[in-house]
Chains A and B, each alone.
Chain A
Amino acid sequence: MRVDGLFLSIIGVFFGIVGIVYWYTSYEDAGFVMLVGSAGLGLLPGLYYLWWSKRMKPLEGDIEDATMADGAGVIDSFPASSIWPFLLGMAALFTTMTFIFGLWMAPIAIALGVSAIIGGVVESRRGGTI
């Protein structure tokens, strides 16, 4: 956790420095905005992880001499299968096609999207069961 946080924070600091240097050498706004955005992308999760790494016990994956028994317990629930990602993907496909080929595709996209979102949420609330 600490390594991850440091790693992301260093990325953020690096982009911050490059962004400042870039601004004062070019006064070009598009690149500056993107570099500052990237700095935020590194610093936000990085500092969050660092903050937490001081307040929680280390993950088993971060302990050099952890044994498999240290990782005992439930890792997580992993759904073995789910149809909703497929429907959501097709909903996205039909949404983009609506923009290209016209509004007549919108009902298909909406139907697919709504059913996929409802199905997916319900599935998650039941703990990953269809």
Chain B
Amino acid sequence: MTTTIEPTDLTQPEEPHGPDSHGADHGHDADHGHHAERSGILNWLTSTDHKVIGKSYMITSLVLFFIAGGMALGIRTQLMNPTSSFVNFQTYNELFTMHGSLMLYLFAGPFAFGGLANYIVPLQVGAPDMAYPRLNALSYWLYLGGSLMMTLSFLVAGGAASFGWVAYAPLSSAINSPGAGTDMWLMALGLTGFSAIFTGVNLVATIFYLRAPGLTMFRVPIFSWNMLVTGILILIAFPVLFGAVILLFCDRHFGTHIYTVAGGGVPVLWQHLFWFFGHPEVYILALPYFGMVTDIIPVFSRKPLFGYRGMVFATLTIAALSTGVWAHHMFTTGVVLLPFFSLLSYLIAVPTGIKFFNWIGTMWGGQLSFQTPMLFSMGFLFAFLMGGVTGVLLASPPVDFMTHDTYFVVAHFHQVLIGTTVYAGFAGFYFWYPKMFGRMLDERLGKIHFWLLTIGFWVTFMPQYLVGLKGMPRRIADYLPANGWTSLNVLSTIGAFIIGLSFLFFFANLIIAWRKPVAAGDNPWDAGALEWFASSPPVHHNFTHLPPIRSERPVWDYNHPEHIKIDHHKPAPSQAPTEKETVGAN
């Protein structure tokens, strides 16, 4: 069956939605009868609805997040005391490899661009679905297949891949890493890589061509802007990864010598290819989460975003620079051009600083309320501040020589990545959960989750900076008591378990929301972007009508017409967006 969308449908007169409709339970049964006749599992297998796919993506990636988090606890347990034998060396190497792989390839990216963005971006741009719904579904099935393949590689003879998530050649060659586990790891990257490419295509096409009338590029909410840029970065980065992976597979099985010295190949080529993917990947992971925070802070400050254009400019600059800095992961190879990569790496600090001050400027003079999404956003600001400052140090080749592959680097990227994927990611999850499920999450449990996470986070990673400066290399399963690293590692392990504990409150929250639903209403936070105009959860194909779009906060303008004149650098609206206007457009 097919549904033809005609925008004349979109402007049926209806009661204006707004803060006064809190608690109203719209849309739970507004199924419009399009796909109600199928049973659950078949419905799931055949659905091309971006909302169903987005939720599937989110659930899958969260499951993988908790599996990888469990691995992290295993790693921390092993490192809690010197000469520990909690796991053996081979298992330890598999654990940290799969922890990194699951977190980076299967959770952090897909949760953002496959999950939240898939769900939210069409709503934010006023589109009925993603531009290519079936490609979107294919993307999810490839992702699910790749995830299963990577996770199940623990079960094959020889165990999972054990060379770190970067798989440096020649350690990943057939001689040094035999076994099907490595092949499954490579093929899983191929599958999930293509899933990412398809989602990237979809995001770019949706944001370019399915924007609602009046939603010009410079009115698109920053989250969607960031997803557009993320989509373009995906299109730049993932094909390179795919190529590198295929070449490595050929080296392993078809007798080529691309990465092996013996046959005239060049091992460092893997690093060039991998990091040309890998550094944009860092921003593919970060930009969506920047976008979430950028959308959340104005809502809880009751103000528009400060410096919208500056934010767009900063996002574009970060993305552009991020593809020119790959070799700052390779400073210690001794074969890359140090000043070039150092300068470009330093320059990334500038747009990131702009973003920071824009966030502060948004809060400045506002009426800040610290509900759970805002609290998580604040946690993000501090975590990212710390990770950003240490990141500037690592842009300097001499300091990189000094700290490369030590726990200093481990602490740095965990602070950045947890700051983005966990703090900002859960900020986004708490923020959009009411829209996705029509229910509120419990504020009290959310706050306990936040504070436990924050305590655990700082207790885990601050000692890691110190232990790194004391000379502890990363990816070691074992150290000597004489190294003097024990007490800091104990502290770090305690912190990791506090982080683990905090997620129990998250689960409790989900269960309570499931058992005792509290209806959310369409716009519980009094937010301004277009997704808050749809019902919660949105009906099939999203909108029954749309407000006029004259700024980047059309729903705010609709609910607070008294502020409409302050929208300066856009043409003044011809009429106030009243119900009459909406009906008149019909």
Contacts and interface: CB of A to CB of B under 8 A. Distances in A.
Q: Do chains A and B touch in the complex (CB under 8 A)?
A: yes
Interface of A: 3-4, 7-8, 11, 14-15, 18, 21-22, 25-26, 28, 30-31, 34-35, 38, 41, 59-86, 88-90, 92-93, 96-97, 99-101, 120, 127-130
A101 B180 CA distance: 8
B6 A72 contact: yes
Contacts of B490: none
A3 B208 CA distance: 9
Given A70-B213, A73-B7, A81-B35, A34 B276 contact: yes
A78 B35 CA distance: 13
B214 to A, nearest CB: 4
Given A61-B216, A65-B550, A96-B191, A78 B3 contact: yes
A66 to B, nearest CB: 4
Leading 7 A-B pairs by shortest Cβ distance? A89-B141, A61-B211, A93-B145, A85-B137, A60-B213, A66-B213, A96-B187
Interface string B514-529: 0000000000000000
Contact of B7 (A7, A71, A82): A71
Contact of B142 (A22, A84, A92): A92
Given A4-B208, A77-B4, A85 B214 contact: no
B171 interface: no
Contacts of A4: 208, 217
B336 interface: yes
A74 B4 contact: yes
B272 interface: yes
Contacts of A69: 8, 11, 585-586
Interface string B1-38: 11111111011000000000000000000000011001
A99 B186 CA distance: 11
B215 interface: yes
Interface in B205-238: 208-218, 232, 235-236
| Max count, chain B CB within 10 A of own CB: residue among A15, A35, A67 | A67
- Interface range on chain B: under 10, 10 to 19, 20 to 34, or 35 or more? 35 or more
Given A31-B327, A38-B323, A81-B35, A68 B11 contact: yes
Contacts of A65: 214, 550, 571, 573-574
B43 A81 contact: yes
| Max count, chain B CB within 10 A of own CB: residue among A3, A38, A99, A101 | A38
Chain B at the A interface: SS class: helix
A15 to B, nearest CB: 7
A74 B541 CA distance: 14
A7 B1 CA distance: 37
A25 B337 contact: yes
Contacts of B585: 67-69
A85 B2 contact: no
A8 B5 CA distance: 29
Nearest to B146: A93
Contact of B187 (A28, A73, A97): A97
Given A35-B324, A88-B138, A96-B149, A61 B209 contact: yes
Contacts of A88: 138, 141
A38 B49 contact: no
Contacts of A38: 236, 323
B214 A67 contact: yes
A7 B135 CA distance: 25
B373 interface: no
Given A11-B320, A68-B548, A93-B149, A28 B7 contact: no
Contacts of A80: 1-3, 34-35, 48-49, 540
A71 B8 CA distance: 8
Given A34-B240, A79-B48, A92-B194, A85 B135 contact: yes
11 contacts: A4-B217, A30-B276, A63-B214, A68-B582, A75-B7, A75-B128, A83-B45, A84-B134, A89-B145, A97-B149, A100-B187
Nearest to B243: A34
Given A26-B337, A93-B142, 19 more contacts: A8-B232, A41-B235, A61-B215, A68-B212, A68-B585, A71-B10, A77-B2, A78-B541, A79-B3, A80-B2, A84-B134, A85-B134, A85-B135, A86-B46, A89-B138, A89-B141, A89-B145, A96-B149, A96-B187
B548 A79 contact: no
B144 interface: yes
B183 to A, nearest CB: 4
A62 to B, nearest CB: 6
B180 A71 contact: no
A28 B8 contact: no
Interface string B64-101: 00000000000000000000000000000000000000
Contacts of A14: 320
B326 interface: yes
A99 B183 contact: yes
| Max count, chain B CB within 10 A of own CB: residue among A31, A81, A93 | A81
B155 to A, nearest CB: 12
B213 A75 contact: no
A126 B323 CA distance: 42
B5 A64 contact: no
Nearest to A19: B324
Contacts of B295: none
A89 B213 contact: no
Contacts of B194: 92
Contact of A128 (B2, B8, B43, B145): B2
A120 B137 CA distance: 12
Contacts of A96: 145, 149, 187-188, 190-191
A100 B180 contact: yes
Interface string B40-51: 000101111100
A30 B6 contact: no
Nearest to B141: A89
A31 B276 CA distance: 8
